[in-house]
Amino acid sequence: MSEPNASETTATELPGLARGEQAIIEVRDVAKWYGDIVAVSDMSFGIGAGVTGLLGPNGAGKSTLLNMISGLLAPSAGSVRVLGKPVRGNPAIYRQIGLASEQEHVYGSLQGREFVRLNAILQGVPDADGATERVIRVVGMESAANRRVGGYSKGMRQRIKVAAALVHEPQVLLLDEPLNGTDPVQRASLIDLMRRLGDEGKTVVVSSHVLSEVERFARNVLVVVNGKLAAAGDYRTIRERMDQRDHIIRIRCSDPRRLASSLVADRITRSVRFQGQEGLIAETDDVRRFGLLAPEIARREQIRIFELQATDESLASVFSYLVNS
């Protein structure tokens, strides 16, 4: 895993890139502030081909970052380059970039097909009709393509936005929370599409605030917390690092004292304290093994477990751990 916020870096040394990997997107020393409020602070990273997850809690600065990568926002400091060129003030680069923003609104008076076709025409796609039909099929919107976008569900709007972003076959695809509002079938289909695009060598950046969701499609992740880059690199490495921290587990059971004495006998339990009549708070450095150990002890000792829950599994605490470490 690379160290974030490294300065004086070459393209291949940027956080987020494997050794020798070519950066398709380069973000160098980027900051964005609005008066006294700092939205993004001194961020440097590179993104290569494949799917990269931009992970962070709501309000972390993911959308601001995506807007700077897409040239809609000018950084207050630093530079952003896509395919080696600056994006802002360079409309020609948009032939290579597609963005499906988080914004709810689309042109409600247009039909889904018309909306995608409009994007194809504006992109200068030679066969706008053919390209439109192709991407509508790709996102599975054939049956609703003649309906007005204004009447679409949130999931349908997400898919039609992805179709519009894909219609000119861009090299770089930026998707801001594309899975929001989608049902499980639509989600699976969009994830499959992202993976496929990544396998084809496209650079796909997908922002999400759902940790478990990202591992389904992203090879690489950039973790953004409070406008700072908390971690960058291979998802599994980061995930392992997150799992290795101390976890606090709350247990409610029929006999907390007996369960506690058995739990502390195992070295993965670092400490145990009681909470009320039935409650127990355990601290462990291996949450996965602990999840197997506690029920096993309970079964053996004939203790009934009413509740077993990791209290610090929220995204905020995971992200805060990454920042602090």
Partner 1 sequence: MDALWRLLPVTMLTVRQFSGGKTARLVLLLSCFPVLFAAIFVIRPWSGDPAEYLADLFRELIVPTLLPIVVLLPATAALGNELEDGTLPYLLMKPVSRARIVLGKYLAIILVTIPALIVGVGLTTVVVSRVPGAEGLWPIFVAMAGAAAVGALLLGALFLLVSLLVPRALLAGMIYVFAWESLLGRFLPGVQAISSREYTLRVFEGLLDGDSAATVAAISTIGVVILVCLVLAIWRLSRMQID
* Residue 71 lies near partner 1 (rule: CB under 8 A): yes
* Residue 275 lies near partner 1 (rule: CB under 8 A): no
Stretch that binds partner 1, among 10-18, 113-121, 195-203, 275-283 (CB under 8 A): 113-121
Q: Return the sign of the alpha-carbon dihedral for residues 234, 73, 179, 312.
A: positive
* Residue 52 lies near partner 1 (rule: CB under 8 A): no
Interface residue with partner 1, options 2, 9, 52, 64 (CB under 8 A): 64
* Residue 243 lies near partner 1 (rule: CB under 8 A): no
**Minimum gap (Å) between residue 252 Cβ and partner 1:** 45
**Minimum gap (Å) between residue 101 Cβ and partner 1:** 6
Rounded distance between C-alpha atoms, residue 51 and residue 175, angstroms: 11
Q: 261: Cβ–Cβ under 8 A, 6 or more apart, which residues? A: none
CA distances to 1, 194, 248, 263 from 50, in Å: 17, 9, 35, 43
Rounded distance between C-alpha atoms, residue 322 and residue 275, angstroms: 28
Q: Can you tell me which residue has the tokens 């920042």?
A: 323
Rounded distance between C-alpha atoms, residue 63 and residue 283, angstroms: 35
Rounded distance between C-alpha atoms, residue 4 and residue 26, angstroms: 13
> 280 and 274 in contact (C-beta within 8 Å)?
yes
CA distances to 54, 181, 206, 252 from 65, in Å: 9, 22, 12, 42
DSSP state, residue 177 = S
**Minimum gap (Å) between residue 109 Cβ and partner 1:** 3
Of residues 98 and 256, the one with the C-beta less far from partner 1: 98
Stretch that binds partner 1, among 5-13, 84-92, 186-194, 270-278 (CB under 8 A): 84-92
Rounded distance between C-alpha atoms, residue 278 and residue 258, angstroms: 11
* Residue 182 lies near partner 1 (rule: CB under 8 A): no
Q: How many residues of this chain interact with partner 1, rule: CB under 8 A?
A: 34
Interface residue with partner 1, options 7, 8, 37, 91 (CB under 8 A): 91
Of residues 160 and 251, the one with the C-beta less far from partner 1: 160
**Minimum gap (Å) between residue 294 Cβ and partner 1:** 46
Rounded distance between C-alpha atoms, residue 175 and residue 157, angstroms: 13
* Residue 259 lies near partner 1 (rule: CB under 8 A): no
Interface residue with partner 1, options 18, 118, 248, 268 (CB under 8 A): 118
* Residue 124 lies near partner 1 (rule: CB under 8 A): yes
Rounded distance between C-alpha atoms, residue 19 and residue 81, angstroms: 19
Show the site string, 132-171: x = touches partner 1 by CB under 8 A, - = not.
Answer: --------------------------------x-------
Stretch that binds partner 1, among 3-11, 101-109, 185-193, 275-283 (CB under 8 A): 101-109
Contacts to partner 1 by CB under 8 A? 63-64, 67, 70-74, 89, 91-95, 97, 99, 101, 103-110, 117-119, 121-124, 128, 164
